[in-house]
Amino acid sequence: MNPEWPSQRHAPTYPPSDSTINEHHFHSPLGAASWSDGFSHDPGFLASQEELRCMLFTVAQSAVPTRAPSPVEHGQDADESGPQRERTVMRPTLSNGRRVEYLKNYVGQVAPWLDMFDSQCTFRVQIPALARTFPALLNAILAISARQMERKKGIQDSFDSIELYQEAIRLLSPLLQNPDPKVVAACVLLCCLEMMSARAQDWRRHLEGCTALFDAFGINGFSSGLLRAIFWCYVRMDLCGALISDGTQSTLLRPSKWLAPDCHEDDATQLFQAAESPDMHANYAVYLCAKTCELVSDRTQFVELGVQNDCAGEVFNRRWLRLWEELQQWVQNRPPELLPVQMTQTKPFPHILFLHWAAISSNQLYHTACILLLNCMPKAIKLRPGPTVSPLWHARRICGISLANPHQGCLNNAIQPLWIAGRLFSHVSEHAIIIDIIRKIEAETGWGACWRIRDLELAWGYQVSRRERMMGQHQSPTSAAG
């Protein structure tokens, strides 16, 4: 048995759904598709994506054994899993030169945002090393890198990524019945690829297969080794899906399942603190933001749909206040690595510079969660006066962090916080700067971001002109970030 693989939980019983979230929950379904380059509508991609999704559900529901194959074990199996096996199962999808190009791009451009909260750089160092003798994982790496390059370069018609994606699925198919961490890593990479070009309405559908796999096998944020890094990469996407839903949905994998099996949610703070790691303190911010989405979603469903979920009266008040206090404890107890190294009160947004990758997004998520909570604060609760009780104060810091920290590994995680913050501003100069940030995120990363501009313009009530955007570029304090 692979020592990294956790004991199996009861397989989930929910079936794959045709649609997990209704399109009317989103402000701009047309805008969400406007930046699509055709990849997400390709019949070959759609068929392969559905095949992978169904395979993951089948594995999750079949209560498979926990013994996992290892491509580098001793004895006869090692010969079949090594380079000789790679030559027999790997199709000549690309030339060697193209493979090297995609691998270099993966290490330099893609891995940084996969390793956003991981100082060990698991996706940049460990996973490519494992992929040398595991063709399914190698094809997944090449596929997501190719997709990122296609998006960034605006390639419209020729998609190496689709062929690599399909080859990865073909190689994964016989391995999923006995998955090991390398298989899970390949599945998460393919999920990331899908999300890069997915419409907002489709995010949760792309996440469902991996959710079922994590749930069935009890993989959580405190699993050992490789699985822990893979888990946190996945749940950051799950959290983005919840933020996209604008208060109507929680994460697919409920936050209670992010914790170690025997840990109660009341003990989550101690569990994260016990790790004594800047990375895990940053992951704690992801968890708290997910808890916030869960509370807001429960409240929305209670108020608007009459769902009886104990999210009313004193129960809601207690849940709200406890979460608010946990967030304030998070920011007060940040380790030195997550503190800003420079803060300058520039206008319209402050300059807040961080050195640690995980500090950038975790602090943005803290401010995002505070905005969401303050927007649904019970009338019976009276907070001590101060800047932290102002949604606009948090919103300015979200924008200031993105302006001062252009680290590519943290750009795509800022899209939804910027949308949540951006709706609170009223001046055209502020709007122009935010639009400029979002456009640069898509240009730099290849990750679809500009559809959120249309949502912001709907919230503001007008379309920001090119002249106003240029004005925002001149007023932006980006140059001061150095």
**What pTM, to 2 d.p., does this model score?**
0.86
452: tokens are 């959120």
Does 366 map to a domain?
Answer: no
Tens digit of each residue's pLDDT, the chain (482 residues) = 454 555 444 444 444 433 333 333 444 333 333 445 677 778 888 888 888 888 888 888 874 444 343 333 333 333 333 333 333 344 555 788 899 999 999 999 999 999 999 999 999 999 999 999 999 999 999 999 999 999 888 877 777 999 999 999 999 999 987 768 999 999 999 999 988 877 777 778 888 989 999 998 889 999 988 999 999 999 999 999 999 999 999 999 999 999 998 888 999 999 999 999 999 999 999 999 999 999 999 999 998 888 888 788 899 999 999 999 999 999 999 999 999 999 999 989 999 999 998 999 999 999 999 999 999 999 999 999 999 999 999 999 999 999 999 887 788 899 999 999 999 999 999 999 999 999 999 998 888 888 899 999 999 999 987 766 665 555 554 433 32
Q: Residue 376 phi/psi, 5° resolution?
A: -125, 30
DSSP assignment of 348-391 equals SS-EEE-SSHHHHHHHHHHHHHHHHHHTT--TT--PPSSGGG-H
Provide the domain count of the chain.
1
Q: Token pair 């595991």 is at which residue?
A: 134
CA distance 278 to 49: 35
CA distance 447 to 116: 15
CA distance 181 to 230: 8
Residue type, 82: G
In the three-class reduction of DSSP (H, G, I as helix; E, B as strand; rest coil), residue 324 is classed as helix
Task: For residue 352, give the H/E element and its range.
Answer: strand 351-353
Domain that holds residue 215: 1-18+37-219
Does 212 map to a domain?
Answer: yes
Q: Residue 249 phi/psi, 5° resolution?
A: -140, 145
Does 401 map to a domain?
Answer: no
Does 425 map to a domain?
Answer: no
Does 173 map to a domain?
Answer: yes
Does 128 map to a domain?
Answer: yes
CA distance 209 to 50: 10
Residue type, 251: T
DSSP character at residue 7: P
330: tokens are 């998070």
Does 456 map to a domain?
Answer: no
Does 68 map to a domain?
Answer: yes
Q: How many CB atoms lie within 10 A of CB 63?
A: 12
CA distance 427 to 445: 28
